[in-house]
């Protein structure tokens, strides 16, 4: 009887151990950013300025799940689901029904790199992000998208659906590639997208170059798509001095049409950096300038400054200020979310952010 109990106990402990090992080999992490602030902006309409509550003044509010399973032999399965949140009203940031519009991917990775499939951010977006001093902040950065005149936004290729993406890193060299299927019967080109990135990081110095192209659906009827293609070329440089860090970036943008409409072209330049006064307080600043070629001569410039104070490793307070101006009386907006009603616009945002 005693021997039977001992064998049963040992078997139970063995099963528990196997279960514990299996559990240790697979993890799922819940994460997110909750960011909200109060903004005042002038020249938002012909009647003057406005104050509003904003969601994601420093970083877009979001939540997500990421997981990894160790399959053995250095091979791992990975997945990520991520959704934007509008903190101001509690809705999805990307509109009704867009549950995981930011990321919805599954894939495999090993020492040769990672391959994922689904809806994802582009390699241009992820590889260029570290080279924007303001971190693609809606308040206030033009690295992802400028706000020159009217509805024109010569922006960075940000996300792609139906995508296959590869990322690898070898001795400081980063390689990234993405192909987005157009999913159009009879045509591999229509609505397809591709994106390539090459980066280097060694000591305090880092650099990156990217190239992307988005093919239009010129043969579509509903809705009509007159875009032939959109092309972007980016480059970034940074140097970390310790407490201070300097960054610079460049974008060449080109959009052509299947109609007689003129090609849209522009060059965007930015420079800036950050300084850590102590472990709690950081000051960041940047200047963005866009040279618009062709029909518009607005050539807008944005001056951006932000101070942020960390209350803990996960919670911080921030105050951001921006001043945008355009030439020849053209309208300009401070952020990619604002059009603007004059040739200058000034804004200030005070907010709080929590990460989990």
What is the reported pLDDT for 217? Answer: 85
Q: How many CB atoms lie within 10 A of CB 304?
A: 26
**pLDDT-based confidence at residue 51 (cuts at 50, 70, 90):** very high
**Pick from 144, 149, 269, 262: which is nearest to 212 by CA?**
144
Rg (CA), the chain: 24
Which of these ranges, 147-151, 204-208, 311-315, has the smallest mean pLDDT? 147-151
What is the reported pLDDT for 65? Answer: 98
What is the reported pLDDT for 219? Answer: 64
Q: Which 8-state DSSP code applies to residue 131?
A: G
What is the reported pLDDT for 25? Answer: 84
pTM score of the predicted model: 0.89
pLDDT in tens, 73-90: 999 999 999 999 999 999
The domain segmentation of the chain, as residue ranges, is 30-355
pLDDT in tens, 320-335: 999 999 988 888 999 8
What is the reported pLDDT for 10? Answer: 42
What is the reported pLDDT for 328? Answer: 86
What is the reported pLDDT for 6? Answer: 45
Residues 344, 323 contacting (CB under 8 angstroms): yes
**Mean pLDDT value of segment 112-131:** 98
Average pLDDT score, the chain: 90
SS (H, E, C) 144-171: CCCCCCCCCCCCCCCEEEEEEEEEEEEC
pLDDT at 228 over 90: yes
Residues 246, 225 contacting (CB under 8 angstroms): no
* CA distances (Å), origin 140, targets 43, 75, 144, 162, 302: 16, 41, 11, 30, 8
- The correct CATH number of 30-355 out of 2.40.160.10, 3.40.720.10, 3.40.50.620, 3.40.50.300 is 2.40.160.10
What is the reported pLDDT for 2? Answer: 43
What is the reported pLDDT for 46? Answer: 85
Percent of the chain with pLDDT over 90: 75
DSSP 81-122: EEEEEETTTTEETT-TT-TT-SEEEEEEEETTEEEEEEEEE-
pLDDT at 13 over 70: no
**pLDDT-based confidence at residue 147 (cuts at 50, 70, 90):** low
pLDDT at 7 over 50: no
pLDDT in tens, 287-306: 999 998 876 788 999 999 99
pLDDT at 5 over 90: no
What is the reported pLDDT for 220? Answer: 65
**pLDDT-based confidence at residue 20 (cuts at 50, 70, 90):** very low
């Amino acid at each position: 009887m005693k021997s039977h109990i001992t064998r049963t106990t040992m078997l139970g402990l063995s099963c528990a151990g196997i279960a514990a090992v299996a559990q240790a080999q697979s993890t799922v992490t819940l994460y997110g950013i909750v960011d909200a602030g109060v903004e005042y902006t002038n020249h938002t309409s012909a009647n003057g300025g406005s104050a509003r509550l904003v969601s994601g003044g420093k970083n877009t509010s979001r939540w997500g799940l990421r997981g990894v399973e160790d399959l053995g032999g250095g091979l791992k399965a990975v997945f990520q689901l991520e959704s934007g949140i509008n903190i101001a009203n509690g809705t999805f940031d990307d509109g009704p029904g867009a549950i995981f519009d930011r990321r919805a991917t599954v894939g495999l990775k090993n020492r040769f790199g990672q391959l994922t499939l689904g809806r994802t951010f582009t390699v241009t977006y992820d590889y260029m992000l570290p080279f924007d001093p303001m971190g693609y902040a809606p308040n206030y950065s033009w690295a992802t998208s400028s706000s020159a005149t009217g509805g024109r936004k010569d922006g960075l290729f940000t996300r792609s659906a139906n995508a296959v993406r590869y990322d690898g890193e070898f001795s400081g060299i980063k390689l990234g590639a993405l192909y987005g299927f157009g999913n159009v019967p009879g045509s591999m080109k229509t609505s397809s997208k591709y994106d390539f990135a090459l980066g280097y990081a060694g000591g305090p110095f880092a650099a990156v170059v990217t190239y992307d192209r988005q093919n239009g659906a010129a043969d579509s009827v509903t809705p009509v798509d007159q875009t032939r293609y959109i092309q972007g070329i980016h480059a970034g440089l940074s140097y970390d001095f310790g407490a201070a860090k300097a960054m610079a970036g460049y974008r060449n943008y080109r959009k052509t049409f299947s109609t007689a409409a003129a090609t849209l072209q522009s060059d965007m330049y930015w420079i800036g950096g950050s300084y850590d006064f102590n472990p709690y307080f950081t000051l960041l600043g940047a200047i963005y300038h866009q040279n618009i070629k062709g029909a518009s001569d607005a050539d807008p410039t944005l001056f951006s400054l932000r101070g942020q104070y960390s209350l803990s490793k996960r919670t911080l307070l921030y105050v951001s200020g921006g001043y945008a101006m355009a030439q020849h009386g053209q309208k300009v907006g401070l952020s990619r979310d604002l059009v603007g009603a004059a040739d200058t616009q000034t804004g200030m945002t005070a907010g709080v952010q929590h990460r989990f």
